[in-house]
Amino acid sequence: MVYNHRVLTDEQKRQFETEGYLIVKGLFTEEQLAEIDRTFEDISLQVIPGHFEPDLQQETIDPLKRYPRVMHPHRFNETAKRYMLHQPVMDVLADLYEEEPLAAQSMFYYKPPGSRGQALHQDNFYLKVEPGNCIAAWTAIDPADEENGGLLVVPKTSTYDIVCPELSDSKESFTTHYVKPPKDQKVIPAVMERGDVLFFNGNLIHGSYRNKTKDRFRRSFICHYANSSATRISTYYRPLYRADGTPVELETNPNGGPCGVEYDTPYIH
């Protein structure tokens, strides 16, 4: 099914196509954001094997031991699934893809004060959506800026090939992979207000620095999507879902791509 252009302006579409990313405001109401707040506050007090495994007794210099990211909350929480399929977000994705979007993954990051960032990387290295590409919808639950470790993007790298990553600096990044940005492109901060949604292409190089504040979390709800014409995706992201919640099974894109099986670590990004 081909979607007609509906919710984005020509300028917005052009920015996504040329820069690789786009910030859209007003896709969530404050009431909806408050529901997300409550849902993940409740989750933060639990241990959910395979999805959220904090050390609730942790007294350490690494705040991510107490507040790790939540992986695939849509698989155990109906509120998370509903917001992964949030219609205003799906409408933007339909405009960007010009076809039906399929939801592949949900995550929630608490990123408490003092926590490490995430080295620069490319999402479709992990999702392996083919043909086509994944798109991320990164929703700021707290204001995100350079001080509390907001997202960093490297504009125009959405047209670059997927590259094999190098080893990241474990003192600054909680993930192990690092993609070096091209010399002719600068890393810039995506400064966002609560409720803003950043959409970006699966080849775009992006990441974040450490949360340098002493009292500000940088919570975010992040989902990844694929175009409905895709036929393959990494097995970790199956099944996918249509906007009405109907599951969709794509073929498994096998491990051991051009970078070798040692890079096939699930959920690394």
Residue 5: pLDDT band with limits 50, 70, 90: low
pLDDT tops 80 at residue 3: no
Specify whether the CB–CB gap between 241 and 163 falls below 8 A: no
Phi and psi of 130, rounded to 5°? -145, 145
Query: What pTM does this model have?
Result: 0.94
Whether residue 19 has pLDDT greater than 90: yes
pLDDT average, residue stretch 174-188: 94
pLDDT value of residue 268: 44
Q: Does 162 score more than 80 pLDDT?
A: yes
- Quick one: CATH architecture of 10-263? Sandwich (2.60)
pLDDT in the model for residue 260: 57
pLDDT of residue 261: 47
Q: What confidence tier does 191 reach under pLDDT thresholds 50, 70, 90?
A: very high
In this model, does residue 267 exceed pLDDT 70?
Answer: no
pLDDT of 88 above 60: yes
